[in-house]
Structure 1
Amino acid sequence: MATNVTKEAAAGRSPEPVVRLNGVGKLYGNVRALRGIDLAVRPGQVTCVLGDNGAGKSTLIKIVSGLHQHDEGEFLVDGNPVRLSNPRDALNLGIATVYQDLATVPLMPVWRNFFLGSELTRGRWPVRRLDIERMKRITDEELSAMGIHLDDLDQPIGTLSGGQRQSVAIARAVYFGARVLILDEPTAALGVKQSGVVLKYIAAARERGLGVIFITHNPHHAYMVGDHFSVLRLGALELNAARADVTLEELTNHMAGGAELAALKHELAQVRGVDVEELPETVQTPSA
């Protein structure tokens, strides 16, 4: 896959999207959670989906990962319309999701968590047993391929840092056949250093040819690794732009809500003791 992506890039063409949403909407009774969402996830690219709490990021994740079905628009995988009934359908199409809680067992070893629910065995019933050596070897090889080097695969995964646990989850998804990797706020609860670790492995997943959907509320993290940016506000697209068409300042402005910030600055100007001239100017850019 990575080779095909490289060939298309060399020819000056963008690879065809693995996942594409056209005008997707979602209703919960009379509440419209999403409307008119367009999204294209291409192999070898990181698509960043940004938005504040309540913007619609979680609903979007649930649709792409198979937890919920869309009510409006088209959901295409490899150019074919799909309606996913559950996360297993998504996995069968190569769409894997890494949630914030990571679904790991803290007291189990790293290698056991890597194969959790998909353990390798050897021998025949009734003497079938876990193939521990093979699972350890594969875990070590896959982590090394992602640039992750752990001294002891037998250590409980709970003893790893948050960034390392996220990285193991990413490597696991890659090994089990992910073509599109959805990362749900992977840096939200991490400090600067550990966030850097996760961003490094997001870039590594891109280099291996995966299409990555990076869900975040941090425009600085998004801009460090993103190739395309989609900003959600109240269930609709506030911005939909390639990296070449948006600056970090513009992205931050859309994320924060430029109009709201301008109104707030005007209100603060009426308060004694607040020097609004020292506040940053908002950037007015058209929504895509």
Structure 2
Amino acid sequence: MTTISTGRMISHPFGNANEGQVCWRPAKSIWAGVMMAVALVFGPLTFSWSGFTLFVITTAITICAGHSVGMHRLLIHRSFRTSKLVERVLVYLGTLVGMAGPFGMIYAYDIRDWAQRQTICHDLYAHRRSFFVDAWWQMHCAVALKHPPAFVIEPEVANDGFYRFLERTWMAQQLPWMLLFYLLGGWGWVVWGTAVRISVSLTGHWLIGHFAHRGGHQGWAVDNVAVQGYNIPKAAVVTFGESFHGNHHAFPGSARLGLERGQIDLGWNFIQLLMWLGIASAVKLPENMMPREGLRRL
């Protein structure tokens, strides 16, 4: 197979994105399983409109400002620039989503992107398996490749003391907020502001990944790669633009994901707000980027 290096993932001559074994990851699995169990059992028992409102607000902030803008578009793809303080705040909010620390998120995105750019890749990276198998694999397992690429994070990020701290303590970062929620609203706020929020975020992230790699609207195709991306317009609002994954495959470094007329991208709108405030600059968009190799308009 052709080996392709993508940024932090550096292929070697025997690099292979297909040969590997799916392995259970206990810490990842227990974390996701406990959050889901608490949400399913205690969510209905502790429901209140104030708790539900807390869930909606905290989910919107952590997914939009944190995950979509801070982790994905800024830290992982460097689609715009901002001050180190603002960057750290956004990445911190992304850590509160409960998926991983900053280094773990970079690795998860980059290894999948590297694998999908090959001519053939493992079924896990392509979301090819059935609905429930893919759910188990994505939220409870990982692929141990026989010949993985080297993973090198740029020193500016790898040596950042705050990011190193977040990486070591990303699960524990929920604790101060759980205490605050308990003091303000009791156990119901803890359940809805933490367990329900995290379980919905984790499940939603997997669902978008599952369906956005299997079919849907596609404005562009990329030739000679193992996996195509597709857009899911109906999920645009609740994913803050992340469901336009076909557009993202076409222009991975773009700060704007909703590229077609009528495509709602609230993450991009948040970046526009940062630009208006003078906080964001050097914004990457399709018109000022080099098109990726093999890109073809449909």
Compare the two structures and name the one with the higher strand fraction. 1
Compare the two structures and name the one with the higher helix fraction. 2
Q: TM-score scaled to structure 2, two decimals?
A: 0.27
